Amino acid sequence: MKTRIKLLFYILLMTTSLKSFCQKNFPINTNGSLVDTIKVYQEKDKLKFLEGKFYAFDAKIIELYEAYNGKPYYLAEFADGNKIWIASFIKSDYQKKGAILRMLGVFSNVMNDDKISKNYNDQGYHILLFSFVDIDSKKSLTFSGGEEQANEWRDGNIPDDLD
């Protein structure tokens, strides 16, 4: 319980610091309630309606694995304790266990032939990470195919659905 309170306090403190750093840039549009929303859609067999939607949020990396081409695949925890898997398109030392990141990515169902995701992830879905800001360093990194969406996010808007 103490660890969760410390995590909550740290995320709140760092989010406040990030807000002053970013002002209106790099906005978020969800938190741990995203997982609850996904569960409702999953129960109704309607996950396809979330496919390709952009989400931006703060979360802490709690498990980290190497995926395709050395890119990270990790379990991230929201301040409320909800967890979601992240498939990163970005290879970076900032993505490490314990790091708190502000992330931008799209919702995606795990593909049937994705052996790495299926090995770790029992949820059946994850976020495909396009861009992130490391809360501690304020460093922002983007996957090379996602510059347009990352620039839109940096300019204060959550991108439209992925076409």
Mean pLDDT on 110-129: 94
d(CA 151, CA 33): 25
User: What pLDDT does residue 161 have?
Assistant: 84
User: What pLDDT does residue 32 have?
Assistant: 87
Mean pLDDT, the chain, rounded, equals 88
User: What pLDDT does residue 64 have?
Assistant: 98
Q: Is residue 163 part of a domain?
A: no
Q: Is residue 160 part of a domain?
A: no
* Structure confidence at residue 150 as a pLDDT band (50, 70, 90): very high
How many domains in the chain?
1
Q: Is residue 43 part of a domain?
A: yes
Q: Is residue 89 part of a domain?
A: yes
User: What pLDDT does residue 110 have?
Assistant: 95
User: pLDDT tens digits for 36-93?
Assistant: 999 999 999 999 999 999 999 999 999 999 999 999 999 999 999 999 999 999 999 9
Range of the domain at 28: 2-154
- 35-39 own/partner pairs: CB under 8 Å, 24+ apart: 35/78, 35/82, 35/83, 35/84, 36/82, 38/84, 38/107, 38/125
- The CATH code of the domain that includes 89 is 2.40.50.140
Helix (H), strand (E) at residue 54: strand 54-66
